Every structure is written in C-alpha cells, then in structure tokens.
Chains A and B, each alone.
Chain A
Amino acid sequence: MTDIEIVERLKRDLGPEALEVTNPDRRRIFLKVGSGDLVAAVTLLRDKYDCAYLATISGVDKGETFEILYHFASPAANINVRTEVPKASPHIDSITAVIPGAILYERELQDMFGLVVDRIPDPRPLVVPDDWPAGNFPLRKDWKFERPPEIIPGGKS
C-alpha cells in the first residue's frame, strides 16, 4: 500500500470525521480528528490498518489549545493522529481500552501538561518527584522555573 492509497482510504473510511489528512513526507501520514472521534479513529486504525503498535503520544502546548499526537506505526506507514483540546477544559478520552500499552504515555500527558484523561484505568495522580508541588505542569509554555541557589562547598555561598 502506498502513501497515497492510505490517504485515500483513510478519507473514505473516516468520511467527515477526518478533518485533515496530509502526507508531508515518505511514509509519514498526519490525520486530524476531533477529540470526540478519537477512540473510534484509533479502533479503526488498529483493526483495519494494522496499527496495533502505538509508538508514543506527544503533547504540544499551542497557547490556547493542547495538541495531542498519537504516533502509530505499521509496516506500511507511520500514521500520526492529531487532535486538539482547549486549554480551558483539557479533557481527552483514554485509548487504553483499545491499546493497553498506551497507559504510560497517557500518564505522562497527565503529569506534564495537566490534561485530564477520562476513563484511564489507573488515574492516580502522578507527579514527578514525590514532593512535587501540585498544579505545576512543566511542559506548559507558561510554566516558569526558578533554579534553587547553589552552595559552593568549602567556599563562599
């Protein structure tokens, strides 16, 4: 299956759910869906496109919204599903029911961006170190960090 065929097939299968399908590079396909259609799209990819292998989930802080990318890989191509959620109500559905291996990446999203993943099997709050203050999400662009003062051993501090 060539890239163009996959793009055509995706457009046909998903219909209006596919907001945008692009093919910027060899074997790289970016598919954009609404955040509500995500689980359906992932299920379709897994069942019909041989995409059981989820490479990772990346989040990007785009100011007003969070962009979330699910990177799938199949022998034919690398399909990246893109979806966006508003920063005001950052809710996204969990895909662990479809792909169990996604759990780590979803937890990472929760930790780093403060996204809320609905229906995640293990929603324990995961903060980076044990003593991490709540409400700090390091990968948000507006999160700033101040370095603690360093001690110079044996000298002036």
Chain B
Amino acid sequence: MLNKLVRWSRIKSPWILHLNSGACNACDIEIVAALTPRFDVERFGVLLKATPRHADVIVASGPVTRQIKDRIIRIYDQVPDPKFVIAVGACAMSGCVYRGAYNIMGGIDQVIPVNVYVPGCPARPDAILDAVVKLLGKL
C-alpha cells in the first residue's frame, strides 16, 4: 500500500533538472519550450528545478566535453536517490556531428548511466514530453 502510494507520487511529480554538457543550445531551447504554454509540462506535475538537490530526473543535452565531465559526475552525485537520467538529442546519445572532435568524450552515457534516450537533432518538445511519460511508465 505504502509502496503503491510512493510509486504513484513519483510518477505524478517528476521534477527535472536541466543539465547542459556542451550542447549547441537547440535541445536546450526545446526543453525550455516544453515548459511554455504550447506544450506545458506542468500539466503532468513536471517542474523545472534549479538545484540538483530538489530534482528527480536529470534532463541532459549535448555531448560531454572534456572540461565538464567531472562536473557532470558531481551534479549526478548531488541528486538524491531515486534518480533518472534522460539523454535528449543525438549529441547526448552519441556525440552527433561532434563525434571524433578532440574535446568530446562522446555521449552522456560515457559518464553517467542513462535511462532514456530521446533521438532527434534537436528532439522536439513533444518527444521530450513523451520521454518523461515513458520513463515514468517504466517505474
């Protein structure tokens, strides 16, 4: 019973933290666009949170640059359990066009575990919404 309640609350209230690890801004503006009236993720209880301590889901975009790698791990550690990671966009999945550049470590899964991958360059806000919903459906 209690477990059921907790699971329900987790599904209904995912707070997200937006993490940019060197993306080109396109995925980021699409993530922000998902908050705005047209897409409005608050309907599902999704709130964009400022600090990692408050977040449940990390929405990461962009390839991982060499400089930011350690910071990503630190931010991941700061998020309290249970935590989930959504990799938004082709860059966060594999590096996209930047694959092979000297300062790129590859996709976000090279650094932290990823739960959901959202393809697209950039992923549309609808796709990002869908990813959040799918992730929660898996719980």
Partners in one complex: yes
A: residues with CB less than 8 A from B are: 128-132, 138, 145, 147-148, 150-151, 153
Min Cβ gap A152→B in Å is 9
Number of interface residues of B (CB under 8 A): 12
Q: Is B105 interfacial (CB 8 A cutoff)?
A: yes
Which one of B66, B100, B105, B106 lies within 8 Å of A128 (CB-CB)? B66
Min Cβ gap B123→A in Å is 19
Mask: chain B, 84-107; 1 = CB below 8 Å from A; 0 = not: 000000000000000010110110
Contact B66 A129 (CB under 8 A): yes
Contact A153 B109 (CB under 8 A): yes
Q: Is B80 interfacial (CB 8 A cutoff)?
A: no
For the residues of B in contact with A, the DSSP-based class is: loop
Cα–Cα, bound, A138→B103 (Å): 10
Contact A145 B102 (CB under 8 A): yes
Q: Is B113 interfacial (CB 8 A cutoff)?
A: yes
| Cβ–Cβ < 8 Å partners of A147 in chain B | 100
| Cβ–Cβ < 8 Å partners of A128 in chain B | 66-67, 103
Contact A129 B103 (CB under 8 A): yes
Listed A/B pairs (15) with beta-carbon separation below 8 Å: A128-B66, A128-B67, A128-B103, A129-B65, A129-B67, A131-B66, A132-B66, A138-B102, A148-B105, A150-B106, A150-B110, A151-B110, A153-B109, A153-B113, A153-B114
